[in-house]
Structure 1
Amino acid sequence: MTSVVSAVRRLAELPARLGEFRADALLAGALAAVCGAIAVLLPHDGRATDGLALALLGAVVAPLAWRRRAPLGTLVLSLAFAAVYHRLDYQHAAPFAATAVGAYTAAAAGPRWRTLVLAGGVLVAVLVVWQGNGGGSALKLLRISGWLLCVLAVGEAARLHHRLLAAARERAERAERTREEEAARRVAEERLRIARDLHDLLAHSVTVIGVRASVAAHLLTVEPARADLPAVTGTLEGIADVCRDARAELRSTLRGLRGDEPEPGGPPPGIDAIPDLVRIAEEAGAVVDSTVAPDLGAVPGLVGAAAYRVVQEALTNAVRHAGPGTRVAVAVRRDGDTLRVTVVDEGPRAGGPERPPDGPGLGLTGMRERARGVGGTLDAGPRAHGGPGFEVTAELPLKGNVP
């Protein structure tokens, strides 16, 4: 059994090793030997096999060496010599194997209309040969033509099978490409999310640290005689607290970037963590009026995280650009199926120190991308009713988001 399987495998690999033409030429040679043996050895009540019969059989078989390169031309040429062979009333079974291979190849190559035309041509050729022989050997010719029609049907079935396999293979390849593109898109989105988180984290922490360090330096250098050591100590301890919080969040973000298991601590911060942002901003010198409506209901995790980051970035910008002492109003409330987040600052405090303008950053772009990421919108610009200061308003849908 093993030897049979091995032989079949070698036979299947033959076209790849020898090339289509050499394999088809070998097949044609083998068919020539089979057809010649049938013509010589099988009894026949018609014309005896002679040199002309063998030459015609050779002409029937020879075109099969090009059967895969020109299937239709090969079959037509083979059938033409076969018709002459049958017309001379030689052994009618001898050329069947060769014509069957040609018919199968042409039908398998398609298209279907050509197979139907070939079937009709075979019937016409059989009738012509039958009439030319004076109506003799009709039953044998009809049997041969019937088998040839069956071969055409098998070739058509094989063509349909190969076409279905090709379509299935194409669908599988398309699905694989789609999966790869989806995976690449998810990787890009995850990288963008991590970049936003890092930006928000570093911008917020560095800004708070910078403001509080400036306050400590002012107390120690500008008015050394009035230095309030407890205030300086509290400011430095606040800087240490901000550094610890930033380090913990940065570690968690980087573990996600490496694909490690997240550390204990639950999901990213959301609405419940906004008071911590307010406390840090107040420690940096801002005066914050925070209002978080108690009737928010269930807020999806993605929406809560987006709201948290919007408030974080808005407070960071207020502390950075308006400086210590600025008044900021934070409001989070539900408006139907929308979570509305508003952060308004009143600009620099009158008489306060001038702050150098920062270059263009990515804060506003990041806030807008976070709002769009959950299907919401964000507006940022000067206060709507005039006056100094800046206003940020985000509207985040509470439905259609995955918690």
Structure 2
Amino acid sequence: MTRAPLGAPPSRKGTLRPEDEPVQTTGPRLGERIMAAVNRDPRTAPHGTRNDALLAAVLAAAAVCVCLFTDEARRPDALGWTLLLTAHAPVVWRRRRPLLVLAGVAALIVPYHALDNNHLAPTPAAYVALYTVAVTGRPLRTILTGVTGVAVSTSVMLTVSTHQAVELLRISGWIIAVLFCGIDVRYYREYVRAIVERAEKAERTREEEARRRVAEERLRIARDLHDLLAHTITLIGVQTSVAAHVLAADPERLDRETVAKSLDDIAETCRTARGELRTTLEVLREHGLPDARGPLPGLDGLPDLVAAARLAGARVDQDLRVRTDPPPVVGAAAYRIVQEALTNAVRHAGPRPAVRLRLYDEPGALRVSVTDDGTGPTPGGPAGFGLIGMRERARSVGGTLDAGPRPDGGFEVTAALPLTMGKGTV
């Protein structure tokens, strides 16, 4: 006999864990089936014709039994049997043409009753036809049909026997009960259908809302990654160019201190970008916390952006006059707009561009303005997502943004962000 090695997982042979146990599946119970049949519209029920054919056969068999075992004095003759059995045939099509089926049944059982045959035998078929009209038609039509049926039947019975006519009026309460039962079932089905439609509409609304939030979150992440990577890659490119220029300008008089400083700046930029990228990726992994978005950048990070732009060679003149703290999402939008505007100035405005950054608040709005003396993006060059992203940033908090060349040269980005509302995502 061999033993399992120490620390090996125990064999599952002969052992059944709870998650391995077979699931006992049971079909719907009888009560559930009955309620499903009641709630279902008879005109759209599956196998309706087949079921109605079986129903007609059962009703015909019951009518024959009633005639054979009750009231022998009124047992039908050959004509009576023909009328009785033929009166059950239209029941097969009761779902398709309820009124025509009722008319056909009445046309056959009226002469049957006029011949004074067994009056109880065709009653179930007549009630089924009446119920079908009530459950599929409008209430007014149902009531008029019932009144007409009682009036015609009473008139026919008066020609046979006044006593039978009075007896028919006495039992007409059953006709009224069948009609109102059909009306009640119709209203109940409409009520159930309305509940189901509302539930389906609510489910569709929830799905659309979920898709909208996913789309907004993807757009937000795309903007964040674009702003982060574009800014970082631009700074790294400029700093690398500085180091390459120093190395190639005069190899005999190599300025090691300048090269080392450029490399240190590149390393610091990479560390900062790695931290921001990690924050963005952590947000993506927080499946259970849809509102967890990590720390939002704010206006307190603008000096670092200005310092990074100056390090890349831009001559930045800043004028920051904000007296009130904006909502976090508004501050984050302003930060990203300034970040993208400075990145574009460093990338497109030429060497050592003069950039002016103005940020101030006024009643109800935060104003952002970034101007430079360069030429802006190269006409006909590849289209980017920077300007689109800035406009989306502004719209996400209910603000506006304009960007374009200035009349006297250079490029200008201006934005107005509301201070009283911070709706949207950043």
TM-score by length of 1: 0.87
Q: CA offsets, 1:28-49, max 9 Å, x none? A: 11111222222333348x7444
1:323 deviation in Å?
3.8
Tell me the distance in 1 between the aligned counterparts of 2:198 and 2:380.
57
User: Please, which of 28, 34, 37 is the counterpart of residue 56 of structure 2?
Assistant: 28
Q: Are residues 1:390 and 2:386 paired?
A: no
User: Please, which of 366, 372, 377 is the counterpart of residue 389 of structure 2?
Assistant: 366
User: Please, which of 172, 176, 180 is the counterpart of residue 145 of structure 1?
Assistant: 172
Structure 1 counterpart of 2:398: 375
Q: Given the superposition, is the C-alpha separation of residues 11 and 201 from structure 1 closer, same or farther in structure 2, using an over 3 Å criterion? A: closer
Larger deviation: 162-171 or 149-158? Answer: 162-171
1:396 deviation in Å?
1.0
1:347 deviation in Å?
2.6
Q: Secondary structure at the match of 2:413?
A: strand
Find runs of 4+ consecutive structure 1 residues off by over 4 angstroms.
Answer: 5-13, 15-18, 258-262, 355-358
Q: Secondary structure at the match of 1:167?
A: helix
User: Conserved in 2, the CA contact under 8 Å of 1:47 and 1:88?
Assistant: no
Q: Aligned AA for 1:268? A: L
User: Conserved in 2, the CA contact under 8 Å of 1:300 and 1:402?
Assistant: no
Q: Aligned AA for 2:50? A: R
Q: Aligned AA for 2:357? A: V
Structure 1 counterpart of 2:22: none
1:209 deviation in Å?
0.6
User: Please, which of 195, 216, 228 is the counterpart of residue 189 of structure 1?
Assistant: 216
Q: Aligned ranges for residues 4-15 of structure 1 at < 5 Å? A: 9=33
User: Conserved in 2, the CA contact under 8 Å of 1:130 and 1:137?
Assistant: yes
User: Conserved in 2, the CA contact under 8 Å of 1:92 and 1:141?
Assistant: no
Tell me the distance in 2 between the aligned counterparts of 1:361 and 1:60.
80
Tell me the distance in 2 between the aligned counterparts of 1:257 and 1:12.
44
Structure 2 counterpart of 1:235: 262
User: Conserved in 1, the CA contact under 8 Å of 2:398 and 2:423?
Assistant: no
Q: Are residues 1:288 and 2:316 paired?
A: yes
User: Please, which of 291, 302, 305 is the counterpart of residue 277 of structure 1?
Assistant: 305
Structure 1 residue runs of 5 or longer lacking an equivalent are: 349-354
User: Please, which of 95, 102, 110 is the counterpart of residue 137 of structure 2?
Assistant: 110
Structure 2 counterpart of 1:220: 247
Q: Given the superposition, is the C-alpha separation of residues 280 and 42 from structure 1 closer, same or farther in structure 2, using an over 3 Å criterion? A: same
Larger deviation: 122-131 or 236-245? Answer: 122-131
1:85 deviation in Å?
1.9
Q: CA offsets, 1:120-167, max 9 Å, x none? A: 211221221232124222342113432112211111221122122222
Tell me the distance in 1 between the aligned counterparts of 2:133 and 2:414.
71
RMSD: 3.0
User: Conserved in 1, the CA contact under 8 Å of 2:158 and 2:164?
Assistant: no
Q: Are residues 1:163 and 2:206 paired?
A: no
Q: Aligned AA for 2:67? A: A
Tell me the distance in 2 between the aligned counterparts of 1:326 and 1:12.
76
Q: Aligned ranges for residues 226-375 of structure 1 at < 5 Å? A: 226-259=253-286, 266-297=294-325, 299-347=326-374, 359-375=382-398
Tell me the distance in 1 between the aligned counterparts of 2:341 and 2:252.
36
Q: Given the superposition, is the C-alpha separation of residues 159 and 322 from structure 1 closer, same or farther in structure 2, using an over 3 Å criterion? A: same
Q: Given the superposition, is the C-alpha separation of residues 18 and 164 from structure 1 closer, same or farther in structure 2, using an over 3 Å criterion? A: closer
Q: Aligned AA for 2:60? A: A
Structure 2 counterpart of 1:211: 238
1:247 deviation in Å?
1.6
1:316 deviation in Å?
0.2
Larger deviation: 74-83 or 115-124? Answer: 115-124
TM-score by length of 2: 0.82
1:357 deviation in Å?
9.5
Tell me the distance in 2 between the aligned counterparts of 1:160 and 1:12.
15
User: Conserved in 2, the CA contact under 8 Å of 1:345 and 1:389?
Assistant: yes
Q: Secondary structure at the match of 2:162?
A: coil
Q: Aligned AA for 1:79? A: A
User: Conserved in 2, the CA contact under 8 Å of 1:205 and 1:246?
Assistant: yes
Tell me the distance in 1 between the aligned counterparts of 2:362 and 2:281.
36
User: Conserved in 2, the CA contact under 8 Å of 1:290 and 1:331?
Assistant: yes
Q: Given the superposition, is the C-alpha separation of residues 12 and 159 from structure 1 closer, same or farther in structure 2, using an over 3 Å criterion? A: closer
Q: Aligned AA for 2:64? A: G
Structure 1 counterpart of 2:146: 119
Q: Aligned AA for 1:195? A: A
Q: Report the identity percentage.
A: 49
